[in-house]
Amino acid sequence: MSASNKWSFKVSSFIVGEDFWRGIVAIIVFLIFWEIGSRSEALFGFAFPWVGQVPAPSAVLKEIYRLIQEPSFWHSGYLSTRRVLEGFFAAMLVGIPLGLAMAVSRTFYGITFPVFEVLRPIPPLAWVPAAIIFWPTQELSIAFVTFLGAFFTIVINVIGGAQSIDVRYFQAARSMGSSTFDIFRRIILPGVLPSIVVGATVGIGITWAVVVAAEMISGGGSAGSMGGAAGGGLGFFIWNSYVGGSYTQIVAGMISIGAAGYMSSAILRKIGQLLTPWLAEG
Amino acid sequence: MTTQPAYTRSSAAVAGIAAPVCKGGVRIMDVVKRYGTQDAGVLAVDHCTFDVPAGEITVVVGPSGCGKTTLLNAIAGFHSLTSGSIYLDNEMLCGPGRLKAEPGPDRIVVFQNGALFPWKTNIENVAFGPIMQGYMTRRDAFEKARDMMADAGLRGIENNYPGEISSGVRRRVEIVRALMTDPKILLLDEPYRALDSLTKSVMHEALLETFYKNRVTIFFITHDLEEAIFLGHRVVIMTTRPCKPKKILDIDIPHPRDYNVLTTKRFREFMDETAAAVHEEATKAFAAGEKER
Amino acid sequence: MSQTELSHSRGITAARGDTDGRVSTLALTFHRAALWLQSPRPYLMFIGFSLFLGFWYLAVEVWKLPRFAEMPGLTTVVSEWLSKNPTYGLSIFMEEYYLHIWVSTRRIAIAFFLATAIGVPLGLFLGWSKRFKQYVFPVFELLRPVPPLAWVPLAIVMFAGSETPVIFLTFLASFYATALNTMLGVESIDVSYIRAASCLGAKRWQVFRHIIVPGALPFIFTGLQISVGVAWFSLVAGEMVSGQYGLGYVINTSYTMVRYPTIIIGMVTLGIVGYVTSAAIRMLGDYMMQWRTRELALGEER
């Protein structure tokens, strides 16, 4: 069966399959409950405990439609995305070599890993004040915190991946006369790639969470603690909507962040698949 | 020896041993198994017909990926048939109208990579069957388990976990577990594949010993011809995928057997007869680039 | 039974004078600890920490690097942390310090407990029943990409009071991690185990209880460790944005009130408490999964 036939066979069987329709049904039911819940005050005379306060899906949909047409909204999205990518790439740039070094040299690992493990439980956001004191600009401090978020995940995954490379690959390469550099390039790097992809996909989710949090804190937060200079971004947008009392905008903002986060993960996963063709089903 | 896939007289009679009343005879009739749809699928078993006589060891030999595990899975009740039927003791297991059997304690499988539950101790594993089925109390089941393990020479490891013992011993415990529920037929799916040949020969003798004590029907899958001829009353040689019996032999080397059998003339004669057939199929499989499932 | 088969573990047993053929787990743990002390690892660890702390000390207090001008120095922080009369009010001798730790830990405990109580069963069913997964998973996945903190304003709107939104946030993040890992755990169970159990006559609910739940346990505990980490992440964020008391709140206010050493104290405390909670879960897991601990320990020997 040719490759394109296989693919269309898969897609068509997926759409026709029960998987798809049951999922759709569930989502529709969920939306209906949400709609009823948020209108409960009007419909039943009393508001349901939590859902009653939430804006209805229909209102949110209208709001999204309106927002899509506003350039300032897209600008916020751009700002957030840029911050995510900056922090994320910095984390990859520093994290991957560090992880590889730790996996390759037992001594280096013995020295650095304990310190690493001690710093890791500290949530990235707890670093925000220290980062602000240290870095000259607000933007840089947010970037640093974002970097931290993804950094730990990536390093852990790289170490795990490198350690799980079958030692026989090394032995085979050596017996064929490979230099250390060759081994690094042809065995370690490809062997670690799947773990890097996993670490990256998880890491970018964390990065989004940190960026949104940082934006919210710098825009709002108790007593506007971080100063309002650097602002904007979707996190700030949500906080602002709350302060301004526009609840539908809050939910609209949440959905956009969710969508953006999901897309970045999906893109990363796709890139990962392209980079590691040998993992695809044979 | 016969090449016709037809029911032949029990080789126990040939060997002169009085055959006790046995159960577990399986009849496979015109079985076809296709994975996937008509034009987009893979044909694993192609109109396969042969018998597994009760109270005997039947070994199925074939190259990797030829479909023999599919047959075992169909008997065990893990997969359904596309067409054809399988009978157990003259009662239909699966066939037209009911294409999939239910897994049950009358047909127990011993798996390739071992399926002793790692989170239970050995004795908990062995006593699992009767306790689950509810026909024995925990205390009784444990007692019987202890006895059967001692019988099989496995005394002393009852309270260890499977992860603490060697894989050969694990396999033996698994077989004791299977025998606890007094099954009609034991289905062994390349159980010794992952063991080294020294351990293997010990395992073979242990299996035969167990068989002589219990007389349970055994359906054994392997790719190792020597193992097949050594263990089996009859050997069924399969073609590459889709599989069907290529050659069926009754091994008339008398039971009880031990490893000395390997060097007898009769053994070599059997090897001569079958090696060519097996080799032919193996070459075909190799050329077709068979991947192990 | 062949002696060689058991001699290896018997060797360890003999060394410890146990008489029943089974090595106690405690003995194995001590054995591993002894091996660790004999390796170069403790000394490398010492070097690592000295380098890190040494650099911090030198950069701030000796070389006085410009970038580090406003950073509190190592000695300042340590002396503040351990002083009976701290300048900024927080040290290990102050009651307030423990109050904040308690408040944060309590929030984590509630959220984590709820997340586990709901997440583990949900994950087990998602992995076990294809149908259930088909209905529930899409909705689950729909809400997942929204980061915990993005829920803050909505949570404040939905829930009354100031404690509940924070706990809700923490719960949400923790819940997703737990449920997902549990589901993955169930799906990773080798199908041979399930088939073997069916062969042996186990009914569906028996398979669930005796195979699925213990089989998924390793994954569940990994998930729980991740979950606790994520919980702390969300909690701190929540506390920094809206809350009173708690370690996140401490860090935040220390910054606004220019009490820099206290920031570091807060961070260090967070690290310690976070590590302890994670380690506690890991140890609970090791205890509950004796079979794994022993297998791994014996594996290291070989």
Residue numbers in C near A212 (CB within 8 A): 147, 149-150
CA distance A171 to C229: 38
Q: Are residues C52 and C108 in the same domain?
A: no
From the list A125, A235, A257, which residue is nearest C236 (CB)?
Answer: A125
The whole domain housing B81 covers: 1-106+187-293
From the list C68, C146, C251, which residue is nearest A129 (CB)?
Answer: C251
Q: Are residues B277 and B258 in the same domain?
A: yes
- Is the pLDDT assigned to residue A238 strictly greater than 80? yes
Q: Are residues B43 and B136 in the same domain?
A: no
Q: Are residues C59 and C108 in the same domain?
A: no
Own/partner long-range contacts of B206-213 (Cβ < 8 Å, ≥24 apart) = B206/B152, B206/B153, B206/B172, B207/B175, B207/B231, B208/B255, B208/B256, B208/B257, B208/B258, B210/B152, B210/B175, B210/B179, B211/B57, B212/B255, B212/B256, B213/B151
Q: What is the pTM of this model?
A: 0.79
Q: Which pLDDT belongs to residue A229? A: 37
Q: Which pLDDT belongs to residue C260? A: 84
Q: Are residues B123 and B197 in the same domain?
A: no
Write down the ipTM of this complex. 0.82
Selected residues 78-137 of chain C with any CB under 8 Å from a CB in chain A: 131, 134-137
- Is the pLDDT assigned to residue C158 strictly greater than 90? no
Q: Which pLDDT belongs to residue A280? A: 65
- The average confidence (pLDDT) of chain A is 79
Q: Which pLDDT belongs to residue B255? A: 81
- CATH number of residue C282's parent domain: 1.10.3720.10
CA distance A132 to A138: 6
Residue numbers in B near A1 (CB within 8 A): 40
Q: Do the chains contact at A22 and C131, CB–CB below 8 Å?
A: yes
The whole domain housing C175 covers: 95-301
Q: Do the chains contact at B132 and C22, CB–CB below 8 Å?
A: no
Q: What is the CA radius of gyration of chain C?
A: 24
Closest CA to C147 of C118, C123, C176, C122: C176
For the stretch C104-114, pLDDT in tens is 999 999 999 99
For chain B, which ranges sit under pLDDT 50?
Answer: 1-19, 292-293
CA distance C295 to B74: 34
- Is the pLDDT assigned to residue A230 strictly greater than 80? no
Interval C238-250 mean pLDDT: 81
CA distance A275 to chain B (A): 24
Q: Are residues C238 and C105 in the same domain?
A: yes
Q: Are residues C131 and C261 in the same domain?
A: yes
CA distance C253 to C265: 13
Interval A11-18 mean pLDDT: 60
Interval C18-40 mean pLDDT: 69
Q: Do the chains contact at A121 and C142, CB–CB below 8 Å?
A: no
Q: Do the chains contact at B40 and A282, CB–CB below 8 Å?
A: no
Q: Are residues B207 and B135 in the same domain?
A: no
- CATH number of residue B1's parent domain: 3.40.50.300
Q: Are residues C14 and C114 in the same domain?
A: no
- The average confidence (pLDDT) of chain C is 81
- Is the pLDDT assigned to residue A86 strictly greater than 80? yes
- Is the pLDDT assigned to residue C91 strictly greater than 60? yes
- Is the pLDDT assigned to residue C302 strictly greater than 70? no
Which of A34-43, A105-114, B138-147 is the least confident region?
A34-43
Q: Which pLDDT belongs to residue A9? A: 58
When divided into structural domains, chain C yields a total of: 2
Interval A107-127 mean pLDDT: 86
Find the residue in C nearest to B107 (Cα). C199
Q: Do the chains contact at B40 and A1, CB–CB below 8 Å?
A: yes
Q: Are residues C220 and C292 in the same domain?
A: yes
Q: Are residues C177 and C234 in the same domain?
A: yes
Residue A2 — φ and ψ, nearest 5°? -70, 160
Q: Are residues B12 and B56 in the same domain?
A: yes
> From the candidates C50, C137, C252, which should be mutated to test the interface with A, based on the most A CB atoms within 10 A?
C252
Q: Are residues B101 and B202 in the same domain?
A: yes
Instruction: List domains and CATH numbers for chain A.
Output: 1-54 (no CATH), 55-279 (1.10.3720.10)
Of B182, B215, B235, the position where a domain reaches its end is B182
Q: Regarding predicted confidence, which is higher, A64 or A12?
A: A64
Interval A189-209 mean pLDDT: 83
Q: Are residues C42 and C151 in the same domain?
A: no
Interval C111-130 mean pLDDT: 93
Confidence bin at C10 (pLDDT 50/70/90): very low
Closest CA to A238 of C230, C151, B80: C151
Q: Regarding predicted confidence, which is higher, C110 or C61?
A: C110
Q: What is the CA radius of gyration of chain B?
A: 19
Q: Are residues B25 and B116 in the same domain?
A: no
Q: Are residues B208 and B92 in the same domain?
A: yes
When divided into structural domains, chain B yields a total of: 2
- Is the pLDDT assigned to residue C301 strictly greater than 70? no
Q: Regarding predicted confidence, which is higher, C80 or C171?
A: C171
Q: Regarding predicted confidence, which is higher, A239 or A97?
A: A97
Neighbours of chain A (3+ CB pairs under 8 A): B, C
For the stretch C203-233, pLDDT in tens is 889 999 999 999 999 889 888 988 998 899 8
For the stretch A146-161, pLDDT in tens is 899 889 888 888 888 8
Q: Regarding predicted confidence, which is higher, C29 or C135?
A: C135
CA distance C125 to chain B (A): 21
- Is the pLDDT assigned to residue A178 strictly greater than 50? yes
Confidence bin at C17 (pLDDT 50/70/90): very low
CA distance B252 to chain C (A): 32
Instruction: Tell me the percentage of chain C whose pLDDT exceeds 90.
Output: 18
CA distance C154 to B223: 63
CA distance B62 to B152: 30
Q: Which pLDDT belongs to residue A258? A: 86
Which residues make Cβ contacts (< 8 Å) with residue B276, sequence separation at least 6? none
CA distance B6 to A81: 72
Interval C244-272 mean pLDDT: 85
Find the residue in C nearest to B117 (Cα). C193
Q: Are residues C192 and C274 in the same domain?
A: yes
Q: Which pLDDT belongs to residue C265? A: 86
Domain annotation covers residue C239: yes
Q: Regarding predicted confidence, which is higher, A250 or A231?
A: A250
CA distance B95 to chain C (A): 20
CA distance B170 to chain C (A): 11
Q: Do the chains contact at A282 and B291, CB–CB below 8 Å?
A: yes
Which of A268-272, C178-182, C189-193 is the least confident region?
A268-272
Q: Are residues C144 and C276 in the same domain?
A: yes
